[in-house]
Structure 1
Amino acid sequence: RLDDIDCFDPLFFNISPAEAEWIDPQQRLFLEEGYKAFEDAGYPPQKLSDARCGVYLGIMGPSEYGWLAQQQRGAAEITGRSEAIAAARLAYFLNLKGPALLVDTACSSSLVATHLACQALRGGEVDVALVGGATLYLSPEMYMSMCKAGMLSPTGKCRTLDNAADGIVPGEGVGALVLKRLADAERDGDRIHG
């Protein structure tokens, strides 16, 4: 379980505090982690502006946050509820010139986002790719729904893409990483993490 999902500095990302209230916590977490991933890779914002950089984000939807916000505050703003905007927020903030894609293939969303980012790098569509994922469960209703649908693993073991797979084991998390073709990274003197 992730703690402090309500802690977010909207002004850093040029987002008003009022708008930030409506932004799904998964989007807020990815904004923070995506920015940190660029920092860790040695890419300051000025180096990224106008870069051929794609953002590939895996989020399993629909998010519970829109439903919870409607229950408590009325109709939530569309930009806060839209997962598609989650990938575009960081691209817009950093002035990236590449695709900003949201991938929702259920529990494989982040893996598929990574695959698409690698294909774009190999195909020369982008020079750099930010890939990541975020998943939060904000209420017990989601777990209850998955249980009723028979989706949860009765053994509690995740065996993704295995013949012995017997369901999913939900978890929360957020992650982001920067990808680049190895030859380009070596040429540019980038920090390479193994």
Structure 2
Amino acid sequence: MDPQQRVLLELAYQAMDSSGYLGSHRRESGDPVGCFIGASFAEYLDNTSVHPPTAYTSTGTIRVFLCGKISYYFGWSGPSEVLDTACSSSLVAINRACKAIQTGECTMALAGGVNIMTGITNFLDLAKAGFLSPTRQCKPFDGAADGYCRSEGGGLILLKLLDQALAAGDHILGVIPSIATNLGGLSSSITIPHSSAQKKLYQTVLRQAGMKSDEVSYVEAHGTGTQARDPLEIASIREVFGGQSRIDLLNVGSLKGNIGHAETAAGVASLLKILAMINNGKIPPQASHKYLNPKIPALGADEMSIASKVNRWEAPLLAAYVISYGAGESNAAMICCEGPPPKTEVFKQMASAEAGSTYPIIISAASQESLYANADNLGRAAAL
């Protein structure tokens, strides 16, 4: 079985457990929940192809089972789809999930992407094509940018309509007021982004959200750290979001400076970064960035900045723009902002209902003495 399937199954269980869904889940109910996964490479076939045929190789390597096994495990009846747009796959999958919920195809959706490297062939091919950095880490917007560093990862988020989440008293990590995709088909090369298409996408997402550009105070860029892509991306961001008329400073960053380029999982990784920023109220410094790429004009004149230290994220509304580009020119972008303050009466009701409840606690140990010691420690902690 492709390790990507196992990783996604683990992440799916963690996500659904974190959301509280498993507390009332019954597989036989066939809940109308959708599952949308962004994925591209099927490198594990390099390993299975050197072994004799088995009855499980197809279900262990065909990409449809990346989502199919998740939906089957939970007994879901909503759409279950794998989407491949190369590096923008996971954000395109989230877009598809949002649209499926809005049109009533499903009531909730689990969406994201995965990228686990289990073969060397794509490393060699990407290096021959000049994509990869010979000096390792991605250096977004930096003068020393010389290509990207491949990385592994996976991420999933659970989506539902805001009013339903509020009614259920869910812990809302963030809100997506708008998300969209388009294609940069008129670019100079199939692997080079088209600035005009990027700008049109940014404006479409803003229009759908009913927001102005200066209401966005952070842009999580694709930012792979390449000499060709980074200046084009900053130029399109500057034209739509920058300008001396901005009220708040626009910070720009890229997670790839921290963890490298997770390719088909890059978009959801960037979204998870934004959710962490929203819930901590802070803007982290841009990793692997020492000085601005000379091909990028100074940012200060247009009220833009790349953070060099941890700053408090202060704005009337914490709203970020997340961008993801695919090697085949498929662009995806979204706005993610803080959710409404929780209704205190709902949480008071939940707290009062739990006040008189008792719960079993399981304590384990390697010996009877350790068991008693663990129980004693737990008792002292509970009394604090």
Q: Please indicate, yes or no, whether the TM-score normalized by the shorter chain is above 0.5.
A: yes
Alignment length (residue pairs): 165
Aligned pairs (5 A) from 1:90-101: 90-101=70-81
The match for 1:68 is 47
CA contact (8 A) 2:16 2:158 kept: yes
Q: CA deviation at 1:191?
A: 2.4
The match for 1:47 is 25
3-state DSSP of counterpart to 2:25: helix
The alpha-carbon distance between structure 1 residues 142 and 125, as it changes in their structure 2 partners (threshold 3 A), is: same
The alpha-carbon distance between structure 1 residues 48 and 56, as it changes in their structure 2 partners (threshold 3 A), is: farther
The match for 1:112 is 92
CA contact (8 A) 1:59 1:135 kept: yes
Identity, in percent, stands at 37
**What stretches of structure 2 of length at least 5 have no aligned partner?**
175-384
Following the alignment from structure 2 to structure 1, what is the Cα–Cα distance between the partners of residues 93 and 130? 26
Aligned pairs (5 A) from 1:115-130: 115-130=95-110
The match for 1:17 is none
CA contact (8 A) 1:133 1:175 kept: yes
Q: CA deviation at 1:45?
A: 7.0
3-state DSSP of counterpart to 1:47: coil
The alpha-carbon distance between structure 1 residues 89 and 152, as it changes in their structure 2 partners (threshold 3 A), is: same
- In the TM superposition, what whole-angstrom CA distance separates every residue of 1:134-189 from its partner, at most 9, and x where no partner exists? 10112333211111123335783357xxxxx9865421001111111110111122
The alpha-carbon distance between structure 1 residues 171 and 105, as it changes in their structure 2 partners (threshold 3 A), is: same
Look at both structures and tell me which one has the larger radius of gyration over its CA atoms.
2
The match for 1:32 is 10
The match for 1:147 is 127
Aligned pairs (5 A) from 1:18-29: 23-29=1-7
The alpha-carbon distance between structure 1 residues 186 and 170, as it changes in their structure 2 partners (threshold 3 A), is: same
Select 1:57's aligned residue among 37, 40, 53.
37
The alpha-carbon distance between structure 1 residues 182 and 25, as it changes in their structure 2 partners (threshold 3 A), is: same
Q: CA deviation at 1:118?
A: 0.9
Following the alignment from structure 1 to structure 2, what is the Cα–Cα distance between the partners of residues 46 and 148? 51
Stretch deviating more after TM superposition (43-52 or 113-122): 43-52
CA contact (8 A) 2:67 2:81 kept: yes
Q: Which amino acid aligns with 2:95?
A: H
The alpha-carbon distance between structure 1 residues 41 and 101, as it changes in their structure 2 partners (threshold 3 A), is: same
Aligned pairs (5 A) from 1:77-92: 77-92=57-72
User: Relative contact order (C-alpha < 8 Å, sep 6+): which is higher?
Assistant: 1
**What stretches of structure 1 of length at least 5 have no aligned partner?**
1-22, 160-164
The alpha-carbon distance between structure 1 residues 45 and 69, as it changes in their structure 2 partners (threshold 3 A), is: farther
The alpha-carbon distance between structure 1 residues 192 and 48, as it changes in their structure 2 partners (threshold 3 A), is: farther
Q: What TM-score comes out, normalization by structure 1 length?
A: 0.76
3-state DSSP of counterpart to 2:49: helix
Following the alignment from structure 1 to structure 2, what is the Cα–Cα distance between the partners of residues 87 and 157? 33
CA contact (8 A) 1:34 1:132 kept: no
Following the alignment from structure 1 to structure 2, what is the Cα–Cα distance between the partners of residues 69 and 138? 11
3-state DSSP of counterpart to 2:157: strand
The alpha-carbon distance between structure 1 residues 120 and 140, as it changes in their structure 2 partners (threshold 3 A), is: same
Select 1:157's aligned residue among 96, 121, 139.
139
The alpha-carbon distance between structure 1 residues 115 and 139, as it changes in their structure 2 partners (threshold 3 A), is: same
CA contact (8 A) 1:131 1:177 kept: yes
Q: Which amino acid aligns with 1:38?
A: M
